[in-house]
Amino acid sequence: MSEDSDQPSKPQAGKVWLIGAGPGAADLITVRGAKVLHEADVVLHDALITPDILALCPQATLISVGKRSGQRSTAQTIINQKLVECAYQYARVVRLKGGDPMLFGRADEELTALENAGIDYEIIPGVTTAFAAAAAIKQPLTKRGVARNVAFFTSTTGKDETEEVALPSCDTMVQYMGGQAAMDTAHRLLANGNPADTPVIAIENVSRDNQRMMRLTLGEMALGLPPCEGPVLVMIGEALRKRSTQ
């Protein structure tokens, strides 16, 4: 809570909103997010934020902070600096992130930078891509008697490719930015004893006009996903098996 902070905000600085844009469709942002976005002076947005979402803030100066996964961590330092600079230049600053800002969003580093600079901020949550994907394919991530819990994860290797990150263990496994890493995940899940016929759904460009859904099995995923250009979400587990009524 900002009331907890010992650091008084500098009066000359503006306010920053970290907003989750949701999965991409313009009307899957929250009502609160859309309102603040519509009143923003400047919007610092990720590379993957869709034109549909940016059309919600035609009045704002747009700054693309085009970091994608895999880039050096210095890129994040530059985003942090830019965010603080903007707060001294503009009254209403929005930092717009895909999905929800508190999941895989490097939010801790941006919030630390804002706190160090004594800048007031607020966070507006968003719909994460996994839920939009589940809605699109009409299959819930949890299912009575079948899947009681869900893990969200990204890469399975660390900075050094020889370092293995522990794979989470849940009934339903959702891998963000799963395109390239999917094959490795499949191999590891098979090695852990998961059946080769475990259902997998990979979705590219969730909630956008060019959304593409691929149904496969864990065994097939071990051979690699079909080539994808957009961001891919991979969902694995018995909950993803197609209903007989579907």
By beta-carbon proximity to a copy of itself, the closer residue of 223 and 245 is 245
Which of 97, 100, 173, 177 does the annotation list as catalytic?
177
Judge whether 67 counts as a catalytic residue: yes
Q: Scanning residues 155 to 194, which ones bind a copy of itself (CB under 8 A)? A: 155, 165-166, 168-171
Residue 151 within binding range of a copy of itself, rule CB under 8 A = yes
Q: Which long-range contacts (CB under 8 A, 24 or more apart) does 82-86 make?
A: 82/44, 83/16, 83/44, 83/110, 83/113, 83/114, 84/113, 84/114, 84/117, 84/119, 86/14, 86/16, 86/42, 86/44
Distance of CA 156 to the CA centre of its chain: 16
CB atoms within 10 A of CB 214: 16
Residue 28 within binding range of a copy of itself, rule CB under 8 A = yes
Residue 149 within binding range of a copy of itself, rule CB under 8 A = yes
Q: Which helix (H) or strand (E) holds 38?
A: helix 31-38
Helix (H, G, I), strand (E, B), or coil: what is residue 164? Answer: strand
Q: Which helix (H) or strand (E) holds 200?
A: strand 199-204
Q: Please, what is the minimum distance in Å from the beta carbon of residue 70 to a copy of itself?
A: 14
Judge whether 138 counts as a catalytic residue: no
Quote the CA–CA distance of 97 and 107 in Å, as a whole number.
10
Q: Which stretch binds a copy of itself (CB under 8 A): 18-26, 43-51, 61-69, 224-232?
A: 18-26
Q: Which stretch binds a copy of itself (CB under 8 A): 15-23, 61-69, 83-91, 179-187?
A: 15-23
Q: Which stretch binds a copy of itself (CB under 8 A): 3-11, 64-72, 86-94, 193-201?
A: 3-11
Instruction: Give the pair of three-digit tokens for residue 98.
Output: 């895909």
Q: Scanning residues 55 to 94, which ones bind a copy of itself (CB under 8 A)? A: 73
Q: Of these, 13, 21, 34, 232, which contacts a copy of itself (CB under 8 A)? A: 34
Which of 41, 52, 67, 184 does the annotation list as catalytic?
67
Q: Please, what is the minimum distance in Å from the beta carbon of residue 220 to a copy of itself?
A: 19
Q: Please, what is the minimum distance in Å from the beta carbon of residue 193 to a copy of itself?
A: 13
Judge whether 177 counts as a catalytic residue: yes
Residue 102 within binding range of a copy of itself, rule CB under 8 A = yes
> How far apart are the two ends of the chain, measured CA to CA in Å?
45
Which of 46, 173, 221, 235 does the annotation list as catalytic?
46
Taking CA atoms, 11 is separated from 119, 123, 220, in Å, by 9, 20, 58
Active site residues: 46, 67, 177
